[in-house]
Amino acid sequence: MLGLPLATFFFLGLNLSLGTVSIPMGQVFRFLLFQPPENATTRMILANIRLPRVLLGMCVGATLAVSGNLFQALLRNPLADPYILGVSSGGAFGTVLTIALFGSAGTLPSLFTNVPVMAFAFSLGTAFTTYAIAKRGSRLPVVDLILSGVIMNFLFGSATTFVIVFGWRNVQSATFWLLGSLSGSTWSGVWRMLPVALGGFFFSWALTPSLNAISLGEDEAASVGVNVEVLKTGVFILGTLLSAYSVTAAGMVGFVGLIIPHTARLLVGPNHRVSIPASALLGAIFLSLCDSLARWLFQPTEMPLGTITSLVGAPIFIILLRRNRRGF
């Protein structure tokens, strides 16, 4: 935990140095310490192009990782991630439908024809439909919640395919967004995402005693005074809001919310008071580094972000898992 903040700062500098124009790490770290480079072009690249993109990637990565940690604690399921409740499929459908009907995001002045707004609305709507299907009176059965999420994912996945087939001419511009991308990131996007990331982290960290209790089972949590149903509803709403907003910022970026919480627990243990901060920092490092690799390794082409997160993350997780089982 002491090393993770330092690692985050190091990878922030590394990500800023990578790109079509390579910038020495020394200049980057001086820039981060408020000593801007003398070269105006280098200053512009760092301040206006790379820094907002890297910071937005860190915010999205931290948010998805914290959300995944919440859902895995709530559902007590190692395969749970932020998209298990239909958040990704609902956002994908909202995006594809909006672009098919009204065109690309750059020409959408109306609130109801704006791609990020509609992605957020459909993500939330899908997740809360999942919640309504699973809820039984005042109870929220975990198994029913997972099954409802799977059903909604299949339903909206099929609906997305249907729209793509019948609206192919306009939907081509949605392909990169559906596969995840941080291209076109701006400071306004950072300022919109940063309060969500910070607020989500602090709310999640405040819930750590209850999350530790419910991880042992609902009966054990109730025996120590936790209102289990209220906690499940609160965690569901918080995790859904964080996931849905991340979808509007970076598109469909899978794998982060599934793997990073596992990695954090392998490194620092299962106590949520430690694993949630570790998840946030690891998620920030992981997603921003994957985005840098996506735009740097395949120049002049940019690889979809979701592809890189899977290609990079899967081997790392396998190595950590095997080391952990051998007693390291």
Residue 328: per-residue pLDDT? 39
Mind listing the pLDDT tens digit for each residue in 119-161?
788 888 888 888 888 888 777 777 888 888 889 988 988 888 8
Rounded Cα distance, 220 and 273, in Å: 18
Name residues of the chain where pLDDT drops below 50: 105-109, 327-328
Contact in structure between 291 and 56 (CB atoms under 8 Å): no
Give rounded-to-5 percent helix, strand, coil for the chain.
Answer: 75, 0, 25
pLDDT at position 179: 80
Domain ranges of the chain: 3-325
Say if CB 244 and CB 123 are below 8 A apart.
yes
Contacts of 271 (CB under 8 A, 6+ apart): 208, 212
In CATH, the number for domain 3-325 is 1.10.3470.10
What is the pTM (predicted TM-score) of this model? Answer: 0.87
Task: Give the span between the Cα atoms of 321 and 240, in whole angstroms.
Answer: 28
